[in-house]
Chains A and B, each alone.
Chain A
Amino acid sequence: MEFWTAFYAISFYVATFILVFGLGYKIYQYAVTPAPLKIPTTPAPVTTGGVVVRLLSEVILFKSLFRSNKWIWLFAIMFHLALWIVLVRHLRYFMDPVWTLVVLAQPFGKYGSFIMLFGLLGLLARRMFVKRICYISSPSDYLMLFLLLTIGISGVLISFVTRTDIIQFKAFMLSVLSFDFFSWQTMPTDTMLLIHLASVILLMIIFPFSKLLHVPGVFFSPTRNQVDNPREKRHVAPWAVKKFETSSAPTTSE
């Protein structure tokens, strides 16, 4: 068994475990923490359907960000949309046979990576040169961008310049996915591929401990996901009922 093959296979399992359970735990935590008061930023939808539309307009179109700052919006939407297309393209390395949609996404994903990199560089430039954003940035904010840039640049280099034995890599990945413990297919060891995968694994590991929590967070944000109906429907947290509306409390409970 090749060292790198075993190392990356095991790292992949560990990273996936941390990502799934770490993120799962945070989502669980968000879901069970009550929102004791109605605080949607108004005007807000008055129906659940309206809230779904509002959330989708935030998640897909970054509506609030668009209203806020066109430059950040432009770079952010370039990065995120291209990232989705690139991710879809990458699915071909994880499935056999490959879905038609994924086949169709190949050219878009390949060239979309440049848009993704451009978006990232734009965000980095803002972080470095706009005084206000520079002021609020911690080292981790830069490192996150560098990590994503590393993933993007190494990926582009593999695709267009240095190349790798992608057929062999797919064989390795499929053997990892079918849990062929210690009989994994050998992984190609081109430097760029090692860098690309190592940075992706690192990203998966830090996901649940970093600001990447904005991904689940946006769905749980009470200012965006609450229906504006406080007069029509009483909304009260379990802890408030327990504290104030038990038999000894002055207010009658429902």
Chain B
Amino acid sequence: MAKVKFDIPEFRPYPTIPILKPGVMKGNGPFVAKPDMQEALGFPGELIDDWHDVAIDKMGDLLKKYRSLRVFLDSCVKCGACTDKCHYMIGTNDPKNMPVARQDLFRQVYRRHFTLAGKLFPKLVGAKDLTRDVLDDWYNYFHQCSQCRRCSVFCPYGIDTAEISMAAREILDTVGKGQKYCNEIIAKVYKIGNNLGLPKPALANTLEGLEEDMKDETGIDIKMPLDVEGADILLITPSADFFAEPHIDGLIGYAKVFYQAGASWTISSYASEAANFGMFIGSYENMREVAERIRKAAIDLKVKRIVFGECGHAWRVGYSFLNTLVGPFDFLDTRYPVPQHICEYTYDLIQKGVVKLDKSANDHRRLTFHDSCNVARATRMGDKPGGQFDIPREIIKACCNYYYDMEPDTIKDQTYCCGGGGLLTDDLIELRVKGALPRMEALKQVVDDHGVTHMAAICAICKSQFSKVLPYYGFEMDTILSVHQLVSDAIVLTTEVKTPG
């Protein structure tokens, strides 16, 4: 693929008011899904002739199904609170990347067709017909939203642009204009069981290789079981954990924790994917069908618990939606939440003293933590609100001696998206690099102030995105780490296996 030429944004030495550059990110958007991929998801292969009427009908249908959409479209007062909160806006300065302006691409059509004011006085209230230009703008700009929900934190009515962009993508899919990256991945999950299209033999081979690596490293037989019926714990992890760096070091970390806890666990080749791209395309049906695989694997393997690996949006679907989509999970051990996050699992074992960590093993690293957007703003860990911030930090601090948070307005629920999200494709590299700007600035500050060498994360997409964009900003690509990689390096393994934890 030809290298795309674009300007890498410069670090802003002090907070500045963004200068609007209208149309700077106008374009054709990401690659469009091929007909067979569209059809695998139950959508038309290509843009249908009566797309306008079908789109309006679909909008009406979604308005009846989603209170969020209805309330959010009506409630915006154009106060401007969100206008400087989006990382893509900050990185590109295209005004259509202001959350409210992105919503308005949708809202203008809603007003025209579903409100009295928009039917009678379209110009007055900014209502517009769904023309081909508007549809193209939808495709382009609703694929410049990573659905990170940062705008929803700051909106006085909690309007979440993610909900609007999901609805827009659902409508685009319904008229036959889906995004290649997301839809191809979902099609692969249906066919093979994971986003990468990694079949069972390849997966088994990979896991065996990792077992050998761990044996070489530790001298201990640490297993990575696959499709073990009757295991206690089913590990659902993003397939990137099986092959990508630094994800794979996180997977090794999980295996060591399970080993040390003496836990009986397994990976499923049928549900070998935590990610659920049905969420990104706003399709309840597809999200449910992907999630159904997890339920089926849990039943087939007769497990008692489900634990999710490090993946941001997967944790959103796992924590917030799994019970809704394919619950109830009353056939599992009710003493444990369904599902559990691997960080909840590890943290608990650290508390109990089952997992012991040697902080000095990470003395060559000075760490910070990137809160992944979906974990931070759409989920929880543990019993208390905010556990999603505290638990990963507690794990990291238990693994190392040098930990420094980034600026308070760039972490926790104000965290900046990595710039990847469901847009983690090379055809959107310009957007990805520009969207990473605010995170890179915050990282630069802790690097300069505290000599931070590494940034840990608990999301497969964040890890892939940072590996790719860090070099554009002058950082090493291996600055990004998995949280469980730190655990892996610090964990004190004992050969004598403990009672199950």
Q: Which of B35-43, B177-185, B375-383 contacts A (4 or more CB under 8 A)?
A: B375-383
Question: Can you give 21 A-B contacts (C-beta < 8 A)?
Answer: A30-B67, A41-B413, A42-B376, A42-B413, A64-B158, A65-B79, A68-B85, A133-B78, A135-B98, A136-B78, A136-B98, A138-B125, A140-B121, A211-B75, A214-B75, A223-B160, A224-B158, A234-B324, A234-B328, A239-B65, A244-B288
Cβ contact within 8 Å between A37 and B155 = no
Contact of A26 among B64, B74, B414 (CB under 8 A): B74
Q: Which of B100-145 contact A (CB under 8 A)?
A: 100-101, 104, 115-117, 121, 123-126
**Is B304 among interface residues, defined by CB-CB distance under 8 A?**
no
Cβ contact within 8 Å between B85 and A135 = no
Contact of B152 among A30, A38, A141, A223 (CB under 8 A): A223
Q: Which of B48-68 contact A (CB under 8 A)?
A: 63-68
**Is B295 among interface residues, defined by CB-CB distance under 8 A?**
yes
**Is A221 among interface residues, defined by CB-CB distance under 8 A?**
yes
**Is B319 among interface residues, defined by CB-CB distance under 8 A?**
yes
**Is B225 among interface residues, defined by CB-CB distance under 8 A?**
no
Contact with A along B161-177 (1 / 0, CB 8 A): 00100000000000000
**Is A29 among interface residues, defined by CB-CB distance under 8 A?**
yes
CB distance from B482 to the nearest CB of A (A): 22
Q: Which of A115-150 contact B (CB under 8 A)?
A: 123, 126-127, 130-133, 135-141, 143
**Is A34 among interface residues, defined by CB-CB distance under 8 A?**
yes
Contact of B65 among A30, A140, A222, A237 (CB under 8 A): A237
Specify the chain A residue showing the minimal Cβ separation from B85: A68
Contact with B along A56-88 (1 / 0, CB 8 A): 001000101101110010001000000000000
Cβ contact within 8 Å between A42 and B385 = yes
A89 to B83, CA, bound (A): 36
B contact residues around A29 at 8 Å (CB) = 70
Binding site for B on A (CB under 8 A): 26, 29-30, 33-39, 41-46, 58, 62, 64-65, 67-69, 72, 76, 123, 126-127, 130-133, 135-141, 143, 206, 209-211, 213-214, 217-218, 220-224, 228, 230-232, 234-237, 239-240, 244, 250-252, 254
B contact residues around A240 at 8 Å (CB) = 284, 288, 324
Cβ contact within 8 Å between A230 and B385 = no
Q: Which of B287-311 contact A (CB under 8 A)?
A: 288, 292, 295
Chain B interface residue count, CB cutoff 8 Å, equals 77
**Is B84 among interface residues, defined by CB-CB distance under 8 A?**
yes
A218 to B379, CA, bound (A): 21
A contact residues around B18 at 8 Å (CB) = 132
Contact of B337 among A41, A127, A231 (CB under 8 A): A231
CB distance from A47 to the nearest CB of B (A): 10
A contact residues around B76 at 8 Å (CB) = 211, 214
CB distance from A73 to the nearest CB of B (A): 8
A contact residues around B85 at 8 Å (CB) = 68
Enumerate the 4 nearest inter-chain pairs by beta-carbon distance, A residue then B residue, closest first: A217-B75, A138-B126, A43-B385, A68-B154
Specify the chain A residue showing the minimal Cβ separation from B153: A41
**Is B23 among interface residues, defined by CB-CB distance under 8 A?**
no
CB distance from B357 to the nearest CB of A (A): 27
A90 to B339, CA, bound (A): 55
A223 to B155, CA, bound (A): 10
Interface centre among B63, B319, B378 (most CB of A within 10 A): B378
Q: 14 other contacts beyond A35-B66, A62-B156, A230-B323, with CB at 8 A cut-off?
A: A38-B321, A38-B324, A41-B149, A41-B153, A41-B377, A44-B385, A135-B22, A140-B121, A140-B124, A214-B74, A217-B71, A221-B72, A230-B319, A251-B326
